[in-house]
Structure 1
Amino acid sequence: MTDDGYDAVVVAGGAGRRLGGADKPALTVGGRTLLDRVLAACADARQTLVVGPERPTERAGVRWLREDPPGGGPLAAVAAALPAVTAPRVLLLAADLPFLDAATVRRLLAALDGDGGDRCDGALLVDAGGRDQPLAAAYRTAPLRAARTALGDPAGRPLRGLLAPLRLTRLPDPAGAAFDCDTWDELAAARDRAGRDRAGRG
């Protein structure tokens, strides 16, 4: 049986170094900020925790948190948010996923129960290059929290250390929902794709 409800944690504190220090979550694709596009994909979360500097958003009711130290990396951001998570399942999302949508969120959450009730600890997208995307993923809160506790100080440590003890299901991503915008070229590609998608709907 699928657990009811989930919380969403959006990691939005990166320095955008490959974007010359630009505030990446505030950049726009298709007329909306990257952050707002991600928030729209998880609109039915019980609570939405955004870890990073507070910014204007279309979404009301967002709870803002900061990692310790600020800029301490994605693992520090997850560590800052986990104590506030109350749902049995939690999404971990990067703030720069312009093509994440509600259907993909539902697919990740459903995958936690596996086939035939074989439950896993987490389900994450694997991008077109075969790379795991741990910030485009759903996890069971209890094992994720236990893995976090076992790690100790999270500052500056890689996120893969958190995932090592977890039983993970990896999902292909044919729609490119895990496409992220780390460079200006990737942002331009996302804007081009969003424009083509809009023209196709028109």
Structure 2
Amino acid sequence: MSYDAIVLAGGAARRLGGADKPALSVGGRALLDRVLDACPDARTTVVVGARRPTARPVRWTREEPPGGGPVAALDAGLRVVTAELVLVLSADLPFLDRDTVRALLAAPGARGTEGAEGAEGALLRDAGGRDQPLVAAYRAEPLRREIALLAAEHGGLAGLPLRALTAELDLVPVVAQPLAAFDCDTWDDLAVARARIREHGTVLDQWITAVKNELGIDLDVDTKTLLDLARDAAHGVARPAAPLTTFLVGYAAAHAAATGADPARAVAEASRKAAGLALRWAAEAEAEGEAGSASDSGSAAGSDEAERGGAG
């Protein structure tokens, strides 16, 4: 699915005391980078706001005037992109994921497949039933049309609310996982996001995703298989063997993938081999331990017999 992405990163962040909100971190990564990770396959990614370091290359632009609000920022982004479908995101969404983005991109055309005319866009509907126009996918032509009409009606776009734009568009709602629309408008929001990312039930998935993004790899990780391998290596060999073994499995899988093997299968195969070795290692040590115990028992029995014979 061909699309361009526009990320709005130029807000004043008044409720954060004017802090550089897109640069604030959750889970060790800047909010802006976390949003960019959700749309890695965009044909062109435009960030509207002041330039700052990003984990992947993007194009930069500014609204006119700077600080002119979301409609002006969206207009500035639209002047750079060329795709017929445009993903529009705010830069403060720590839990936005690729599944949500794919659902948004697919929704405008889904209505058309049922025999009716396709919608002009799709926007995320959060857990409270509120529509989020800055977590949305729009058809570019109607979006440009409505922005031009607003500019003509108001003599400009600065200060206009997004609802003035979206109210005139035919949009379909998309309900995604509850945290996808969570944004960080306040310091309390940021604290909640940082706490949630470390919750027991999700921390491993969040960590694996963060590491993959940090390393620039896209691989389905079978967490259970790797954890089982680490357990077998730690219990059957020695505790330090766990991280070293999983590292070697990753290295072996990467080597296999470089020769044309499927990366996920390469990880699974390397894990299977290493786990089998760890179990054999443990079984051998256990057998040696049992043999040693038997030998010790025999020696003890012989000593007792010798002592009894000497006493007689």
Normalised to the residue count of structure 1, the TM-score between the two structures is 0.94
More helix by percentage: 2
The CA distance in 2 between the partners of 1:72 and 1:173, in whole Å, is 30
Larger Rg: 1 or 2?
A: 2
More strand by percentage: 1
The code of the aligned residue for 1:31 comes to: G
The structural deviation recorded for 1:96 is 0.2
The CA distance in 2 between the partners of 1:84 and 1:200, in whole Å, is 35
Assess, with a 3 A threshold, how the Cα gap between structure 1 residues 21 and 146 changes in structure 2: closer, same or farther. same
Could you list the per-position Cα deviations for residues 124-182 of structure 1 after superposition, in whole angstroms to 9, with x for gaps in the alignment? 01112221100000000111111111111110010111112211101223332011000
**What is the 5 A alignment of 1:54-73?**
54-60=51-57, 62-73=58-69
Assess, with a 3 A threshold, how the Cα gap between structure 1 residues 47 and 189 changes in structure 2: closer, same or farther. same
The structural deviation recorded for 1:81 is 1.1
Is 1:155 the counterpart of 2:158? The answer is yes
The code of the aligned residue for 2:195 comes to: D
RMSD: 1.4
Larger relative contact order (CA 8 Å, sep ≥ 6): 1
The CA distance in 2 between the partners of 1:28 and 1:158, in whole Å, is 27
Helix, strand or coil at the partner of 1:114: helix
Could you list the per-position Cα deviations for residues 22-47 of structure 1 after superposition, in whole angstroms to 9, with x for gaps in the alignment? 10000000110000000010110000
- Alignment partner, residue 194 of structure 1: 197
Contact 2:127 2:178 in 1 (8 A): no
- Alignment partner, residue 21 of structure 2: 24
The CA distance in 2 between the partners of 1:117 and 1:70, in whole Å, is 43
The CA distance in 1 between the partners of 2:148 and 2:205, in whole Å, is 47
The CA distance in 2 between the partners of 1:117 and 1:97, in whole Å, is 34
* More displaced stretch, 43-52 vs 79-88: 79-88
- Alignment partner, residue 140 of structure 1: 139
Could you list the per-position Cα deviations for residues 53-106 of structure 1 after superposition, in whole angstroms to 9, with x for gaps in the alignment? 00001012x000001111111111001111212001001100001111111110
**What is the 5 A alignment of 1:1-202?**
4-60=1-57, 62-115=58-111, 116=114, 118=116, 119-152=118-151, 153-196=156-199, 197-199=202-204
Task: Report sequence identity in percent.
Answer: 62
The CA distance in 1 between the partners of 2:64 and 2:206, in whole Å, is 43
Assess, with a 3 A threshold, how the Cα gap between structure 1 residues 158 and 195 changes in structure 2: closer, same or farther. same
Helix, strand or coil at the partner of 1:15: coil
The code of the aligned residue for 1:166 comes to: L
The code of the aligned residue for 1:56 comes to: P
Assess, with a 3 A threshold, how the Cα gap between structure 1 residues 117 and 91 changes in structure 2: closer, same or farther. farther
The code of the aligned residue for 2:68 comes to: G
Structure 2: gaps of 5 or more residues: 208-312
